[in-house]
Structure 1
Amino acid sequence: MERRDLGERVAKSGKRRTPLWARLSAIFGCVLMVLSGGALVAQQVLVSRYAGAVETGNLFGAPAGAAAKEEKSDIKGPLNILLVGIDPRTDEQTPLSDSIIVAHIPADMRQAYLFSIPRDLVVDIPPFEKTGFKGGRSKINAAMGYGSSVGNGKHDVVQGFDLLAKTVGQLTGIQEFDAGAIINFNGFKAIVEAMGGVTMTIDQNVKSEHLQPNGKPRPRLARCADNSCAHPYYGPQAEYKVGTYHLQAWQALDYVRQRYGLPRSDYDRQRHQQQFIKAMAKQALGKDVVTNPAKLDKVLKAAGKALIFDGGGHSVVDWAFSMKNIRSDDMTLVKLPGNSIINNGDYRGEELEPSAKEFFSAVRQDRVQDFIFRHPEYINNNAG
């Protein structure tokens, strides 16, 4: 696809839209589907540079040649996109998926529904021939680890994503995801830093397990150096109070990591992560970023380093154009109801309520809007 063709596709629409280079930043730096619209005009160099900066990978283990076959068709809804957030790790450490989000785009491509899968959800993880994993029942965030081993003590997050996608697919009944991304939380931090922080609404008082009020790590108990303690930290804690604030990057990332001490633990954290995504989307397309070439360039570079993307045979630019009608206000944040599994006083993980099966069926049949109308309790009321 030539750059001139991209410009012509936008110019012919005759509409004033959010610039494509900003949409790229929003879509991929803020989790793939944030906003829309775009007039290329003279910013084709930025588009090209950003598209080339995004690392791509075969996240779904598709056979060679499959992607090239799909590349000939347009991106049409309904769509399901799997987004996985990980903490930075070396290839000698077993990767764990700290955040699992599915984005459902209906057939009209004008709405995005985001729902999170609890990281401690107990599920059946299918066998995985590449690592010799025979399958079993475990917390879903372990699936990436079971699928990541490549021998000699090394791990590959791209290969691990494949097994996680199969596990999420088995849970939800989604046979095939249309795109996917692995997002590095340190990369998210760099994006927010490039934007100059992010404004978001904090919906409950939260104390940080990890950081002090000045942003520095809290000291760890010496006897917990091997991570054998559930709460290895001590000393003053950073605190986040109810209200709307402009947060520094370290504050925003720290806030959405917290789950200990929250009434609903990981369910509260899921909601905060969804709120963060939406806040990033709005910030990335604000005038302070879009009309500031220097800041915009920093945001694009940071976003390009933040993730590994698989577009199902379509380029970053193709995905940007496909989302042209979706804006941040069109994003609906969905909460899946669930409860903790307690066995003889010990925490074993999480389980979803039976109605979640009906929701997954609505996703597969592209009737989420109808389901939400009948089950308004699935909407995160504190969407930020």
Structure 2
Amino acid sequence: MVVAGGTLVAQQVLVSRYAGAVETGNLLGAPAANAAKPASDIKGPLNILLVGIDPRTDEQTPLSDSIIVAHIPADMKQAYLFSIPRDLVVDIPPFEKTGFKGTRTKINAAMGFGSSVGNGKHDVVQGFELLAKTVQQLTGVPTFDAGTIINFNGFKAIVEAMGGVTMTIDQNVKSEHLQPNGKPRPRLSRCADNSCAHPYYGPQAEYKKGTYHLQAWQALDYVRQRYGLPRGDYDRQRHQQQFIKAMAKQALGRDVVTNPAKLDKVLKAAGKALIFDGGGHDIVDWAFAMKNIRSDEMTLIKLPGSSIINNGNYRGEELAPSAEDFFASVREDRVQDFIFRNPEYINNNAA
């Protein structure tokens, strides 16, 4: 939603045509709040939860591979994006729908704990609800105004529809998953069941520092890497934020907005990639409400943290104490003042 506003406003007829193509779901767990509301009710400050997942069947437990919060200040003229580390150790609250009693573990497990619907089946929409409650508890944000689940393969389709994406790569990265030609790397047979951390072998796709126009498979592969990076998942979070900003810039560019055929493909791909809950407002209302937010008004935030090592074993991630001050600035809508006093929170390597 953050990246699409300007494009959708630019082509009102296409907005109406494709609004129904976006799947909607009760992600936020508040059916009464999902009754239709006037579009004019969308006013800042706003907080939106964006969750990226790998494609999975309903018999597989879903995991949130990417968790990003977009904070929109009261003036509705800019956006601040910050990522929650997938391995962050947190308290996951109880969830009555699945009988889950609550536990302390990595946050990316929350969606799985909330997703069971019986008979070995899982529902990502229901799982999102528990993840949202977990992020609310972590940040102190009382509620999210909107939420969306983004399928990573859907992201790839959107970038393909745009003809690729131009990104600034800020560090040399080797792919864990793909070969230089984009095909999957072979897997070790003894790790076919994912029992080891690095089950792949053979030549690797590489991404060198610099600015490049990436094909869709390259962009998605680049932003999914964390093994071998100096700061692991923290580097990956930064790359994912950069990817969102680069997509926004390209989606709002004249090459897409003024090209009906290309815009048609982009909107079709977006419709297949998302499950959206607008808190009683449809995707068109949200697009118009955020029409003034451009890619240049997106500030990427990096949360400080470090690994938890017990007896030489990796247990997950923890945030620095100052992160609580940042969360307070989100709750009180004074993020701009916070980053003015704490410039180290700004992702200076943003594309």
TM-score band, normalised by shorter chain: over 0.9
1:333 to 296, 300, 305: 300
Amino acid at match of 2:6: S
Query: C-alpha distance in 2, partners of 1:288/1:44?
Result: 17
Match of 1:215 among 179, 182, 189: 182
CA shift at 1:294, angstroms?
Answer: 1.1
Residue 61 (structure 1) aligned with residue 29 (structure 2): yes
SS of residue paired to 1:336: coil
Who is 1:36 aligned against?
6
Q: 1:251 to 1:39 in 2, by over 3 A?
A: closer
Contact 2:76 2:290 in 1 (8 A): yes
Structure 1 residue 80 displacement after superposition: 0.3
Contact 2:5 2:286 (C-alpha < 8 Å) held by counterparts = no
* 1:74 and 2:41 are equivalent in the alignment: yes
The amino acid of 2:18's aligned partner reads Y
Structure 1 unmatched ranges of 5 or more: 1-26
| Percent identical | 87
Whether the aligned pair in 1 keeps the contact of 2:146 and 2:279 (CA below 8 Å) is yes
Q: Of residues 4, 7, 18 in structure 2, which corresponds to 1:50? A: 18
Q: Deviations over 1:25-59 (max 9, x none)?
A: xx3xxxx345538766xx54421221010000000
Counterpart code for 2:28: F
Q: Distance in 2 between matches of 1:122 and 1:91?
A: 26
Q: Deviations over 1:250-307 (max 9, x none)?
A: 0000000000000000000000000000000011111211121111100010001111
Match of 2:170 among 190, 203, 208: 203
In structure 2, do the counterparts of structure 1 residues 35 and 310 end up closer, same or farther at CA, with 3 Å as the change threshold? closer
Give yes or no for contact 1:37–1:325 (8 Å, CA) kept in 2.
no
- Say whether the 8 Å CA contact 2:43–2:74 is kept in structure 1: yes
1:210 shift after superposition: 0.1
Whether 1:88 aligns to 2:55 is yes
SS of 2:314's equivalent in the other structure is strand
Change (3 A) 1:232 1:37: closer
What per-residue deviation string (whole Å, max 9, x for no partner) do you get for residues 280-338 of structure 1?
00111112111211111000100011110000001111101110211100000000000
CA contact 1:195–1:289 (8 Å) conserved in 2? yes
**TM-score of the superposition, structure 2-length normalised?**
0.98
Counterpart code for 1:195: M
**Residues 252 and 379 (structure 1), Cα distance of their counterparts in 2 relative to 1, 3 Å cut:** same
Over the aligned positions, Cα root-mean-square deviation in angstroms equals 1.3
Aligned residue number for residue 346 of structure 2 = 379
SS of equivalent residue, structure 2 residue 247: helix
1:73 Cα offset (Å): 5.4
**Secondary structure of 1:181 counterpart:** strand
CA distance in 2, matches of 1:175, 1:70: 20
Within 5 A, what are the aligned runs for 1:256-267?
A: 256-267=223-234
Q: Which runs of 4+ in 1 moved over 6 A?
A: none
Asked whether the 8 Å contact 2:8–2:14 carries over to 1, the reply is no
Query: Could you say what secondary structure the match of 2:228 adopts?
Result: coil
SS at match of 1:138: strand
Partner of 1:22: none
Cα distance in 2 between the residues matched to 1:114 and 1:366:
14
Matches within 5 A, 1:1-384: 27=1, 32-33=2-3, 35-36=5-6, 43-63=11-31, 65-68=32-35, 70-71=37-38, 74-384=41-351
Q: Check whether the contact 1:212–1:237 (CA below 8 A) recurs between aligned residues.
A: yes
Aligned amino acid, residue 25 of structure 2: G
- 1:72 deviates by 7.2
Write the letter of the residue equivalent to 2:255: D
Partner Cα separation in structure 2 for residue 371 and residue 60 of structure 1: 28
Q: Distance in 2 between matches of 1:44 and 1:334?
A: 32
- Do 1:109 and 1:326's aligned partners in 2 also have CA atoms closer than 8 Å? yes
How high is the TM-score relative to the length of structure 1? 0.89
Q: 1:97 to 1:193 in 2, by over 3 A?
A: same
Which has the higher mean CA deviation after the structures are superposed, 310-319 or 286-295?
286-295
Q: Aligned partners of 2:216 and 2:271: how far apart in 1?
A: 17
Q: Distance in 2 between matches of 1:39 and 1:181?
A: 19
